[in-house]
Amino acid sequence: MKEKARLEIERLRREIERHNFMYYVENSPEISDREFDGLMQRLIDLEAAHPEFRSQDSPTMKVGGAPVEGFARIRHETPMLSIEFVRTAEKLREFDGRARKKLGRAPSGWVVEPKIDGVAVSLRYERGVLVRGGTRGDGNEGDDITANLSAVRDIPLRLDPLGRAGQAPEVLEVRGEAYMTWAAFENLNLKLREAGEQAFANPRNSTAGTLKLLDSRTVAARKLSFAAHGTGSPVGERFGTYTEIREYFRNAGIPAASPAERCKDMEEVISLIGRREEERRNLPFPSDGIVIKADDLDERESIGFAPKYPRWAIAFKFDAEAAMSSILSVDFQVGQSGQVTPVANMESVELGGTVVSRASLHNFEMTDRKDIRRGDRVIVEKAGEIIPYVVRSIIELRSGDAEPLRPPDACTVCGGPLTPDEARIAVSCGNAGCPGRIKAQLRLYASRGAMDIEGLGDRLIDLLVDGGLARSPADLYALGAADFESLERMGPKSAAALVSAIEASKGRGLARLLFALGIQHVGAEAARKIAARFGSLAAVMSAGLSELEDAEAVGPVLAASVHDFFRDGGNRALVDRLASAGVAMGNEAPAAESEPGPLHGKTVVVTGRIEGHTRESIEDLLRGMGASVAGSVSGKTSFVLAGEDAGSKAEKARGMGIPVIGYEEFLTSWNPQKGQKP
């Protein structure tokens, strides 16, 4: 009887281990979850009836054991190091250069893995059995969380259940990341909220919080994952490369960080970055970059270590930060051109240091292609200074029966018909008198980069348009203090201030006026170029297509757009009215009278945050020094001024051999006070 039970226990353990392997490593389960649970329950019952056969490495340990009082400490024989991180290709080349120098030649290859945003842990296997698992702690000493890690489903308690990997090493320390998928994180937060408890801010916090629990049964229920990314015990006798180690991990049933790719040199790694950044969005877990490590273990040893980091590995971090939220409702925003943009109102979430509650859904083609619906849990991202946008839905978490997003049948502001554009990506309201369009037009006109009318914000614009006081930017110039005083929450003082702000906007000059008109494709920069080339609005309006195309950096699309704009009777009437109101239609006092600035003839691209400056103020400074400022890097770029968190523009420039300089360096070499290069 006893022997029979022992044999069945043995058989069940092997069977369950094999199914675990098929599920977590091979991704091809052979039995249903129910059947699996049945096997596990049978094993639990047998072990309960025969406690003498209990064992540390039984798969039943995965359901968690009795709570502990606290954690013992463990020392890491080999310290768990941190990693250096960079954000630019140039820094990767420098890292590669240092490795080459140490090695006396180029490393033979690099392995690229996702940087998983979780918690680093170390697992110690002795003769193939998990004996201890610990947190990184300070790198030398961490907490012994063996019971909790044993409860992580994809951490094998015994290596190599299928007998594929050969004899287990005497000692193997597997280092890796405990993490939560977006889906596990969400499910946990749902349960916590239901129970009236505090939800976690992100999957890394929820992983760290879970690993600190004293009750491993709760850990088991929370569905952590694990991915190995290295070893902590000497393995040089058995393996020559990290690729071989990964191969062993796979055969032994240890999930390894993936997707992984091997590159022959750093240039190949760099060429991969763009694609990896895209793919990252579709990974089931949060990842903010990639880790690049030398493949050959002997080479690693020769390249060596800095005090806190290995010199043979580096992390490349992506710019955008991601967070998870849900779409509460969708607004349709009507733009100046009439284009309707879906905008998601979201559950507030912290993203890159600010609280975000609205995000663009771009257009209906995107929401269709990515199947984004109301009520969906979504990943939101913010890159640089651009407003946040919804990257994708987590469709596995969709519970309701929300319909796909459809464009509204009619304009949500004026009720007029909507027409799709040629590419069928967007729909637009064709009613030039649509209050939604007029408001958008006034918002642009009054904005800082355009006519800069201080005090004329969204609320006031709504009141003016809804109250019938303004239907066009030209109407602003006919308004007196009494008109403003008639509006809600407007005193005589602010009314007078507004009148003078509107008056002041008359002298902003051609470039800002061209931008303020909202001509399709004409951003602030293009407007400046056109203004510089033509000098007056009359000259722009009478210019032929080819003349427009000839203007520096005004491509055919832009030229056609400008040309069409001024062929429209309504637009011409607007210009006439602005002119008769006294709005300046030419360039400001020509800069040519003074000395040409030190950056005369230079084209500069700015990227990243420049300390003490807004984007506008740094551009103004550059222009004041005679530079022309461009939005993107091209063959014409003289140099890139890169601030904090500079991204792809700096990389592109470096790739093209264009100098990239920091603000400090800029100030010392192009001192704007002295106005000359020392």
Site residues, ligand IVH (CB under 6 A): 81-83, 113, 115-116, 120, 177, 229-230, 257, 291, 293, 310, 313
Closest approach of Cβ 218 to ligand IVH, in Å? 23
DSSP letter string, 202-227: SHHHHHHHHHT-S-HHHHHHT--EEE
Closest approach of Cβ 291 to ligand IVH, in Å? 4
Closest approach of Cβ 295 to ligand IVH, in Å? 13
Nearer to ligand IVH (CB atom), residue 176 or residue 338: 176
Nearer to ligand IVH (CB atom), residue 13 or residue 311: 311
- Asked whether 293 and 242 are in contact (CB, 8 A), the reply is yes
**Alpha helices, H only, 370-521:** 435-446, 458-466, 473-476, 481-485, 492-504, 510-516
Nearer to ligand IVH (CB atom), residue 81 or residue 642: 81
Nearer to ligand IVH (CB atom), residue 250 or residue 471: 250
Tokens of residue 131, six digits: 């004996």
Nearer to ligand IVH (CB atom), residue 121 or residue 551: 121
Nearer to ligand IVH (CB atom), residue 96 or residue 177: 177
Candidates 4, 62, 115, 439; catalytic one: 115
Closest approach of Cβ 658 to ligand IVH, in Å? 32
**Alpha helices, H only, 387-476:** 435-446, 458-466, 473-476
Q: Rounded to a whole number, what is the distance in angstroms from the first to the last CA of the chain?
A: 94
Nearest Cα to 336, choosing from 439, 467, 481, 183? 439
Q: What angle do CA 201, 206, 208 make, to 5 degrees?
A: 125
Closest approach of Cβ 54 to ligand IVH, in Å? 32
Nearer to ligand IVH (CB atom), residue 292 or residue 359: 292
**Alpha helices, H only, 403-457:** 435-446
Closest approach of Cβ 287 to ligand IVH, in Å? 8
DSSP letter string, 141-200: EEEB-HHHHHTSTTS-SBS-TTS-S-SPPSEEEEEEEEE--HHHHHHHHHHHHHTTPPPP
* H helix or E strand, kind and range, residue 380: strand 377-382
Neighbours of 429 (CB within 10 A): 26
Count the alpha carbons within 13 Å of 543 in the hemisphere toward its beta carbon.
25
Q: What angle do CA 342, 397, 332 make, to 5 degrees?
A: 10
Q: What angle do CA 671, 674, 678 make, to 5 degrees?
A: 60
Concerning whether 439 is annotated as a catalytic residue, the answer is no
Closest approach of Cβ 112 to ligand IVH, in Å? 9
Q: Which amino acid is at 501?
A: A
- Asked whether 175 and 80 are in contact (CB, 8 A), the reply is yes
User: 385-409: b or e for each residue (b if 16 or more CB lie within 10 Å)?
Assistant: eeebbbbbbbeebeeeeeeebebbe
Active-site residue set: 115
